[in-house]
Amino acid sequence: MNKTELIDHIAQNADLSKAAAGRALDALIGGVRTTLKKGGTVTLVGFGTFAVGKRTARTGRNPRTGAAIKIKAAKVPKFRPGKALKDALN
């Protein structure tokens, strides 16, 4: 499912126009992004938790030349599914 299909699904199930569903989805994504940038977490009970993880600096290899390269430390988004989501899949 891509973003357009998700907007269509939201519009049908919530009895909204596609434009309103698109704005709602964009607002959700924006809220999650803003909270993660500040280092917080977003918990949607029954769905899961979005959080920021830390990846340490490490040494990698350039696949073309085989030379060692340094990879910087980075913050990465992580998602941990909730119990209800896990149970829905099994």
* Burial grade of 88 (CB within 10 A; 0-12, 13-18, 19 or more): exposed
Q: Mind listing the pLDDT tens digit for each residue in 35-68? A: 999 999 999 999 999 999 999 999 999 999 999 9
What local confidence, expressed as pLDDT, does residue 90 receive? 87
Domain extents in the chain: 1-38, 39-90
Distances from the Cα of 8 to the Cαs of 11, 22, 26, 34, in angstroms?
5, 9, 14, 25
Mean pLDDT computed over 65-86: 95
The listed CATH number (3.40.50.2300, 3.30.70.1340, 4.10.520.10, 3.20.20.140) that belongs to domain 39-90: 4.10.520.10
